[in-house]
Amino acid sequence: MATIHNPVLRGFNPDPSIVRVGEDYYLATSTFEYHPAVRLHHSRDLANWTVVGHALDDGFDLQGIPDSGGVWAPSLSHTDGTFWLAYSIVRTMDGDDKDIDNYLVTADSIEGPWSEPIHLGSRGFDFSFFHDTDGTHWIVGVQWDQRPEHASFSGLVLEQYLPDERRTSGEATVIYREDVLVEGPNLYRIGDEYVLTIASGGTGWNHSITTARSANLTGPYERDPWPAMLTSRDAPGTPLQKAGHGELVQTPGGEWMLAHLASRPTLHLGERYCTLGRETSLQAVVFEDGWLRLRDGGHHGEIDVEIPGVEREVGDAPSDQGASWTDTFADGIDSRRWSTLRVAPDPAVFDTSTSSLRLRGGHSTASVFEQSLLLTRVQEHHATFEAVIDAEPRTTREAAGIVAWYDRQGWIWMQLSWDETAGRSIRVIVREPGRTTRSDAVSVPDGALRLRAELHGPALTFAWATETGEWMPLPGEYPAWMLSDDFGPRLRFTGMFFGVRAEDLDGRGWGAGIRSASLSQTQV
């Protein structure tokens, strides 16, 4: 019997889409504005997961995409020996307007190569595929209404996909409506009925999953009489908050499992902040009187879940997870561990030809185009990130260092730069929406420096040292709690990263050497 310890995918890994092929489980998660896009995971026992790659990598370009736009809610399925992956690209989301394009890519192997994308239209978002037993293929998703005098949500719609013609039918049927927005729809054929799983309540504290069912594919669909089969909105103290947006998978032994997103908050002045973002968990579920229920009762997700008939496998921790790791970049940039913003790392900017990383400075932190920023997910509330940086800034427009990053309006940067008074110096810069603050500059000697950021729940501290010297703490604590979906009035959907960045605002080719980077984390 395998025991799952949730979350199974820790840190920013939202909107899980899961499928089983034989003895293997595959799971895709959203990546939003980060590159490479659509993170793909593999497991044999549902407890141990490895990142096997990404569906959208070389040549995939999200330049100009807004924060928390980009790739939303991938849908992974498998039929007739082929993997199908549907995904949305949200290009703008201003007020009532959303510019969205939906696509399909396919592959014979989860590791690719993936096909060129087929456009599925721009009707809405959260599109998923359903392959019926009669051999037909359907997409179900959220239909958006941009008219300000109308409700933005105009129903869940069903449309046939015609694979021989590589297009949708163009005729969509509304199969389900509520007075409020519901999202993340997925269709299943369970016995003689069609079952529709639905995320409702938004993706925040009121998030939940419910179901509806019908004897006919196009409805009408009867909603579950329970308000939610999974939610944490009535239990603010339960460990897995924001539980919702899920998909079903069946084990070879017939057990049903639900993959869903959830978040683990940290507290600051009594308020909850999910700095790690939305993560992926698994719950055991059953059908009772035709309705989906948690196997062990209630409607709150559990941290530890047992799966009868599944044996836990023992293997090495995946390349992007585990308690600690150090990267010297001798083998280049491992995309299973590192992410960049919007575009793939250009070798002319992220140069690893000398078995270390030479990072040429890029645009400012406000740019949606070319930032020299290399990031790794933070997966635990207690973590330490370090990097050895060799840089000689000579103006205030040249800077490098380590950063705790959420988005362009939320970051904390320990910056090595030049100051008219202090010379070569270090300071901490904090960016929040509409406001930037800077600590006093601290003079540092020439030569490579070790920089360190330590995360203690809602707070960050920083220190520096020469290569052989003792650590010199910088005064004060910094607001890690601000780097979360829950801070500020804007829609935010990602999570905290640690990373390294370099900035050359004069565009003269200045850069920094990154000799190594390391991350250690304490799992609870």
* pLDDT for 316: 44
Q: Is residue 382 part of a domain?
A: yes
Please, which pLDDT band fits residue 437 given cuts at 50, 70 and 90?
very high
Please, which pLDDT band fits residue 310 given cuts at 50, 70 and 90?
confident
The helix or strand, by DSSP H or E, that contains position 241, with its residue range, turns out to be: strand 241-250
Q: Which of the residues are catalytic? A: 15, 183
Q: Which of 281, 307, 333 is the last residue of a domain?
A: 307
Q: Is residue 190 part of a domain?
A: yes
Q: Is residue 315 part of a domain?
A: no
DSSP assigned state of 482: G
Q: Is the pLDDT of residue 151 over 60?
A: yes
Q: Are residues 303 and 357 in the same domain?
A: no
C-alpha 445/C-alpha 129 separation (Å) is 58
Q: Is residue 312 part of a domain?
A: no
Q: Are residues 262 and 392 in the same domain?
A: no
Model pTM score? 0.96
C-alpha 49/C-alpha 27 separation (Å) is 9
To the nearest whole number, what is the mean pLDDT of the chain?
95
**Based on C-alpha coordinates, what's the Rg of the chain?**
23
C-alpha 471/C-alpha 465 separation (Å) is 5
Instruction: Give residues with Cβ within 8 angstroms of 305, minimum separation 6.
Output: 3, 4, 6, 282, 283, 284
Count up the domains in the chain and report the number: 2
Q: What is the mean pLDDT of residues 346-365?
A: 96
C-alpha 390/C-alpha 108 separation (Å) is 44
Q: Is residue 290 part of a domain?
A: yes
Percent of the chain with pLDDT over 70: 98
Q: Are residues 73 and 207 in the same domain?
A: yes
C-alpha 79/C-alpha 56 separation (Å) is 20
CA angle, 38 then 43 then 48, to 5°: 105
The helix or strand, by DSSP H or E, that contains position 271, with its residue range, turns out to be: strand 271-273
Q: Are residues 256 and 376 in the same domain?
A: no
DSSP assigned state of 362: B
Q: Is residue 349 part of a domain?
A: yes
Q: Is the pLDDT of residue 422 over 50?
A: yes
**Residue 55: how many CB atoms within 10 A of its CB?**
28
Query: Distance between alpha carbon 317 and the CA centroid of its chain, in Å?
Result: 19
* pLDDT for 317: 44
Q: Are residues 389 and 475 in the same domain?
A: yes
CA nearest neighbour of 178 among 207, 211, 156: 156
Q: Is residue 316 part of a domain?
A: no
Q: Which of 282, 307, 332 is the last residue of a domain?
A: 307
Q: Are residues 286 and 354 in the same domain?
A: no
pLDDT digits (tens, 9 = 90+) for 115-150: 999 999 998 899 999 999 999 999 999 998 888 888
Type of residue found at 70: G
Q: Tokens 């969205």 appear where? A: 100
Q: Return the HEC string of 112-181.
A: CCCCCCEEEECCEEEEEEEECCCCCEEEEEEEECCCCCCCCEEEEEEEEEECCCCEEEEEEEEEECCCCC
SS3 440: coil
Q: Are residues 148 and 69 in the same domain?
A: yes
Domain CATH number, residue 328: 2.60.120.200
Q: Are residues 379 and 503 in the same domain?
A: yes
Domain CATH number, residue 80: 2.115.10.20
Q: Which of 307, 340, 365 is the last residue of a domain?
A: 307
Which DSSP string corresponds to 317-328? PPTT-SSEEEE-
Domain that holds residue 330: 324-521
Q: Are residues 184 and 66 in the same domain?
A: yes
Q: Are residues 375 and 500 in the same domain?
A: yes
C-alpha 386/C-alpha 500 separation (Å) is 9
* pLDDT for 320: 46
Please, which pLDDT band fits residue 314 given cuts at 50, 70 and 90?
low
Q: Are 244 and 208 in contact (CB under 8 A)?
A: yes
CA angle, 344 then 350 then 355, to 5°: 125
Q: Are residues 141 and 285 in the same domain?
A: yes
Q: Is residue 265 part of a domain?
A: yes
Q: Are residues 332 and 297 in the same domain?
A: no
Start-end of H helices in 366-466: none
* pLDDT for 319: 41
* pLDDT for 134: 96
